[in-house]
Structure 1
Amino acid sequence: MEFPAVIDLNVGGRHLTTCLSTLTKYPDSMLAGMFSGRHPVAKDKDGRYFIDVDGDVFVHVLNFLRFETVPPVKRAKEVRKYAEYFGLRYLPKAISESYGYIK
């Protein structure tokens, strides 16, 4: 499957747009697998790629992929769970380095 350079996402009802290179930044992650064609990705009725998680949390995952920034401390626990789910092992490490271990 061929993906466009700019990806329109529907993440739990929140519409986000990002680059394919952002989603595939870490080749061993689930996101890279989804947007390389290794895993199927559903589309919504408007043709956006659908990811069934909370968009308000996922935006922090995208910001890490874009800029390597960590989320605010009040979101760190949720973002860590998403990072682990999507196989982004560098994000939990960055959160721990910034805030210590957050369960």
Structure 2
Amino acid sequence: MSSSFPAVIDLNVGGRHLTTSLSTLTKYPDSMLAAMFSGRHPVAKDQDGRYFIDVDGDVFVHILNFLRFGKMPPPERAQDVNEYAEYFGIQELKAPVTEDFEKVLY
């Protein structure tokens, strides 16, 4: 990991301000987030110095919760979170889509 990143990372994710740890973002070494926050790829900053990720912050928060706690998203967000998991290369997050939840529950 690059020492140029602080232990605590302030993010601007699609206009939503989030804070997390560097270890959370780099939990899965093969993910795009780990590449972004290892120094291998440049990461843009906003005017306030927050690292900018151009995705919907309301969906991304579920990615962070998975990285932090292994928590799966609620069924109604599963499809969106799956798309982000694919985009960010987090294969460990395989959220069932809503239709699968409905089949299991009913």
Normalization by structure 1: what TM-score?
A: 0.90
Q: Tell me by how many angstroms 1:39 deviates.
A: 1.0
SS of the equivalent of 1:9 reads strand
Q: Tell me what 1:89 maps to.
A: 91
- For residue 24 of structure 1, the aligned residue among 23, 26, 51 is 26
Larger Rg: 2
Q: Tell me what 1:46 maps to.
A: 48
Normalization by structure 2: what TM-score?
A: 0.88
Q: Tell me what 2:17 maps to.
A: 15
SS of the equivalent of 1:59 reads helix
Q: Tell me what 1:63 maps to.
A: 65
Mapped partners of 1:39, 1:66: distance in 2: 23
How large is the RMSD of aligned CA atoms in angstroms? 1.8
Mapped partners of 1:100, 1:24: distance in 2: 30
SS of the equivalent of 2:93 reads helix
SS of the equivalent of 1:3 reads coil
Unpaired runs of at least 5, structure 1: none
Q: Tell me by how many angstroms 1:63 deviates.
A: 0.1
Counterpart amino acid of residue 82 in structure 2: R
Unpaired runs of at least 5, structure 2: 102-106
SS of the equivalent of 1:91 reads coil
- Segments of 4+ moved more than 4 angstroms: none
1:26-65 CA distance string (max 9 Å, x none) = 0000000000011110000000000000000000000000
Q: Tell me what 2:104 maps to.
A: none
SS of the equivalent of 2:11 reads strand
Sequence identity percentage = 75
SS of the equivalent of 2:28 reads coil
